Amino acid sequence: MNITTNLMDFFKLPIKIIGALAIASGIILFLPNGIIDKMYMMSFREKYGFSIGILFIVTTSILLVSFIILVHKHFSKKYYKKKFEENAPKRLKELSQYQKVIIYDLYKNNSYTDELPIGDGAVRTLEHGCFIVKTVSQHLTDMDNPMFPFMLQPWVVDELNKSQELANDFQMAYNTFKAQYV
């Protein structure tokens, strides 16, 4: 039990410490005998050489696996970001007319911010889909009609600025809604 606990604690060490252990054990193992003798570590290397070798192999393996995971996460993040940006116009076009009205209402404001009803399903869907985001975490509001400040995500603003056709579609939905209900 004690060995298992100590081993688990070893694997929880920060990567910097594991890296330092790998370098130190590698130096002790692979430096020429003359240098090790000048550091008065020859008897230490002879006595604990097997343990130092195991430590070197384990720490180097942990570092290698951590590096591979880090590289994988980096490229996965880039891939998913690129995929997200490629699908952005399609995602915007697939919104309902009412959702387009909400987005265009935010878009036409200089700060891309406005108060929206927190209980509205379309607002919640837009927030969940990363089209809009709350600007504050706490806000005084009327309990009968709770409103919360939301802003457009920068990628939505960029897409609407980039594509005049998309902006016109959102403006037309906004004007139609305004003509019907205002």
Q: How far is CA 180 from CA 29, 40, 55, in A?
A: 81, 89, 74
Domains, the chain, with CATH or none:
2-71 (no CATH), 91-181 (1.10.10)
pLDDT at 119: 84
pLDDT digits (tens, 9 = 90+) for 63-119: 999 999 999 999 999 999 999 889 999 999 999 999 999 999 999 988 999 989 888
pLDDT band at 180 (very low <50, low <70, confident <90, very high): confident
DSSP for the chain, please give it: -HHHHHHHHHHTS-HHHHHHHHHHHHHHHHS-HHHHHHTT-HHHHHHHHHHHHHHHHHHHHHHHHHHHHHHHHHHHHHHHHHHHHHHHHHHHHTS-HHHHHHHHHHHHSTTSEEEEETT-HHHHHHHHTTSEEES-S-----SSS-EEEEEE-HHHHHHHHH-HHHHHHHHHHHHHHHHHH-
Q: Report the alpha-carbon distance of residue 144 to residue 126 in Å, rounded.
A: 22
Q: Report the alpha-carbon distance of residue 131 to residue 155 in Å, rounded.
A: 8
Q: Would you call 24 exposed, middle or buried from its count of C-beta atoms within 10 A (0-12, 13-18, 19+)?
A: middle
Please state whether the predicted TM-score (pTM) of the whole model is above 0.75: no
Pairing of strands 113-117, 132-134: unpaired
pLDDT at 113: 92
